[in-house]
Amino acid sequence: MAVALGVLVSGSGTLLEAFLARGLVPRVVASDRACRGLEVARAAGVEALLVERAAYGGFAEGFERARYSAALAAELTERGVGLVAMAGFGTVLAPAFFAAFPGRVLNTHPSLLPAFKGWHAVAATLAAGAGETGCTVHLATEALDDGPILAQARVPVLPGDDEARLHERIKATERTLYPAVVARALSLLAAGREPAELAVEREPA
């Protein structure tokens, strides 16, 4: 039985475009802010759902993360989503969201985790003088950039790289790796299995 995919976006929607090019058509694309990703969804005939942070404290210190996360989970559950792919989603979600989709939230990160966690992974890679980086697709958990690693791809750091140039090469790799992993996860779920079966050994820190 086919499993419905939900995609979370906050930006340009290039990963969403990569999913669509792979034939992965979400049941719904949700965002925490108005963005091009929602326009990409609409153009593809996919429901574009805006669950704005404004009603939950916006981007101020008083943001009600738990209430927002529960509301977003409820919207996806109502639409029958069985697998969630975070694709440049800018809000850190509370445990309630992951409890609603246990072992079924995927994310991608621009480093070879567990190295260089956090929002500034590419800048940190360059600052450390690393000769190699990459991208990691993993099961997302309430801990930032943690959870079982499902796949990794390496990207060399080239002489003269700045943050923008290196990040764009990583993104190009993500646009191939991430859709492939999502497709495999959907196939496993359709067979009554779990995405965690894709887990691989972590790279050394």
Active site residues: 109
Element of type H or E holding 150: strand 149-156
* Location of structure tokens 């923008």: 164
Conformation bin of residue 139: beta by default, left when phi > 0, alpha when psi is -120 to 50: beta
Per DSSP, the three-state class of 135 is strand
Conformation bin of residue 52: beta by default, left when phi > 0, alpha when psi is -120 to 50: beta
How far apart are the C-alpha atoms of 43 and 69, rounded to whole Å?
27
* Location of structure tokens 């990583």: 170
How far apart are the C-alpha atoms of 10 and 86, rounded to whole Å?
9
How far apart are the C-alpha atoms of 108 and 194, rounded to whole Å?
18
Conformation bin of residue 102: beta by default, left when phi > 0, alpha when psi is -120 to 50: beta
